[in-house]
Structure 1
């Protein structure tokens, strides 16, 4: 049986399945590049969440046959190096999409109702916080979605069915709009017309910093931006300037350009910004599903059976 390196803590259901199948698990403790380099030398498979797996690690892991991604984002794995070295890469499609969609909607509602700000005001100023600037209703407002795949379409369903929002979506890979969604071909319409904008595209060269000066100029001063996708989708310094100058009303960010976010970042000091630490997929239910599928991909791969979400 195979030696499996698990880089970060995951729900115990996956490791239990691996051990039941007879595989040996090695856990990382410090999650430093040095520890990864040392422990990957004997690994036949790596189960990874967000730790970087660069080309150097892949090239210097002679026994490595599989990288099983715990999740769907692949920006932390050098796919070119994996392909060149004959290392398979799998993901866990759809396993945490509902949790991320719900987190996105939670941020939308929290921003609309100014919940973090009002909570802080109540704690520091007492009941006079009742006189804080009022929030807004979301019913009847326009939600713009960039990237309407598994997560984006679930956000759309919650917004349209649950809150009677008008939903616009831009996704160049979709030919048919999900129910309750107006699919637009002009990306600028999303930024020009929406009261809330949520980002869910894949991060690649095309989408890197795809929300920048042009997009912020188009947005309404009353609009909110939500990013539970990947931090580098947004040109962060430009966004900070837009928030500080009042070009947009606020932002909900589960991801930032660099993670962890610099403690000195002005984002932490803005009352109209909600920051969470890449926490959107973190629910008991999603953790169990993702762990199970990531482990099953390892088990099936070494048994010669079909895996799900194979990328390389």
Structure 2
């Protein structure tokens, strides 16, 4: 189950054969732990830190694969053809990041550091000052050498 999926006592009582509850995180405040404990139902979860690393690697891989048209070109080669499109690199381009939590800020840091990408970010609770704080927390300067903000807040998502 996802870490924010409500799992109240009423739901636990309606599941008489429930033997184990596995959550996507270590500490899930949405689960009624007392109700589970009273029924002898163990609750376990994954280590969110490791999931974040694996997810981070996967996100970076997907960004690079999409920009290099790897899925399409791989299919063309396997079908006996050759590269079917001109590919686009990421260096110096702009990356839009939705959310600057642990995962989003890590993606932004890696892509801005490794590929000199400009980062535009959006979140429902994000302001430019919070984006600046996130840049500092990631060990990045608030502004790039051209004076542009390292993580630039945008008020809308297309």
How would you bin the TM-score normalised by the shorter chain?
Answer: 0.5 to 0.7
The size of the alignment, in residue pairs, is 130
What per-residue deviation string (whole Å, max 9, x for no partner) do you get for residues 31-73 of structure 1?
xxxxxxxxxxxxxxxxx689x99667511468x9x9552447x
- Quote the offset at 1:167 in angstroms: 0.8
- Where structure 1 has 5 or more consecutive residues not aligned to the other structure, the ranges are 1-47, 189-214, 216-312
TM-score in terms of structure 2 length: 0.63
TM-score in terms of structure 1 length: 0.35
Question: Structure 1 residues 106 and 84, CA, compared in 2 at 3 Å: closer, same or farther?
Answer: closer
- Quote the offset at 1:159 in angstroms: 0.4
Question: Structure 1 residues 173 and 68, CA, compared in 2 at 3 Å: closer, same or farther?
Answer: farther
- Quote the offset at 1:182 in angstroms: 1.8
**Distance (whole Å) between structure 1 residues aligned to residue 80 and residue 54 of structure 2:** 34
**Alignment equivalent of 1:182, drawn from 151, 155, 158:** 151
The residue correspondences of 1:227-242 to structure 2 (distance < 5 A) are none
State yes or no: 1:134 paired with 2:86: yes
**Distance (whole Å) between structure 1 residues aligned to residue 125 and residue 21 of structure 2:** 26
Answer whether contact 2:56 2:103 (CA < 8 A) is retained.
yes
**Distance (whole Å) between structure 1 residues aligned to residue 51 and residue 34 of structure 2:** 29
State yes or no: 1:97 paired with 2:49: no
3-state secondary structure, aligned to 1:144: strand
**Alignment equivalent of 1:159, drawn from 95, 104, 111:** 111
The residue correspondences of 1:1-312 to structure 2 (distance < 5 A) are 58-60=12-14, 67=21, 69-71=23-25, 79=30, 82-83=31-32, 86-87=35-36, 92-126=47-81, 129-130=82-83, 132-174=84-126, 176-177=130-131, 178-179=134-135, 180=140, 181-188=150-157, 215=158
**Distance (whole Å) between structure 2 residues aligned to residue 86 and residue 100 of structure 1:** 32
Question: Structure 1 residues 168 and 133, CA, compared in 2 at 3 Å: closer, same or farther?
Answer: same
Partner of 1:31: none
Answer whether contact 1:71 1:95 (CA < 8 A) is retained.
no
- Where structure 2 has 5 or more consecutive residues not aligned to the other structure, the ranges are 38-42, 141-149
